[in-house]
Amino acid sequence: DIQMTQSPSSLSASVGDRVTITCQASQDISNYLNWYQQKPGKAPKLLIYDASNLETGVPSRFSGSGSGTDFTFTISSLQPEDIATYYCQQYDNLQLTFGGGTKVEIK
Amino acid sequence: QVTLKESGPVLVKPTETLTLTCTVSGFSLSNARMGVSWIRQPPGKALEWLAHIFSNDEKSYSTSLKSRLTISKDTSKSQVVLTMTNMDPVDTATYYCARFTDYGDYDYWGQGTLVTVSS
């Protein structure tokens, strides 16, 4: 099975800061990588699909990049409402895996 | 409007079998571009994919849990059912169903249902 290593596991940043989260796959997954935001007590919300495509209605401060094994998720200017845990998720050959999550807090 | 809603017991005893139902609306389980998955999340921990089922009835299971899981669907009732055998306290989690698209992502999720395994 493909393993997804997400880092950091948590971070603290100030409002307006640029925030970057990485996800590394244990083997080549092309661009089959998605990013989700989960707020406490809520179901995850899709933000980015196919590594770099912004889901409809998601603010443009969120972005994703990468292909193969290394992927990056960026919040260009952190806002108070972005406090959440973020997960990457890969899809390869009918098997899915989520990363371990990154908890984003305000400094 | 697409919605998914999980239902099932909130408490099961160790060794029992868990049966969860996901009732969907706003799309058909026979839609060739869609599937439904089950995903769980133990308290304070990460998401874990369990299984999914496609419109053509093709199924896929988590390698680590495959022996304990069965997924099925009833298109006429718009329901997807997951059974998990031999429940253990470590299976305590919020169980979600979610719609799986042909981009390999989940665009709609249920609210989740917390299942506690305890004697």
Q: Which of B37, B104, B109 sits opposite A32 (nearest CB)?
A: B104
pLDDT, mean over chain A = 96
Give the integer Cα–Cα distance in Å for B6 and A87: 22
The confidence score (pLDDT) of residue B27 equals 92
Alpha helix locations (H) across chain A?
Answer: none
Flag if A43 and B112 touch (Cβ within 8 Å).
yes
- Count of C-beta atoms within a 10 Å radius of residue B23: 16
Query: What band does A93 get if pLDDT is binned at 50, 70 and 90?
Result: confident
Regions of chain B with pLDDT less than 70? none
Give percent of chain A with pLDDT exceeding 70.
Answer: 100
Flag if A43 and B60 touch (Cβ within 8 Å).
no
Q: From chain A, pick out residues whose CB is under 8 angstroms from the CB of B60.
A: 94-95
The confidence score (pLDDT) of residue A1 equals 86
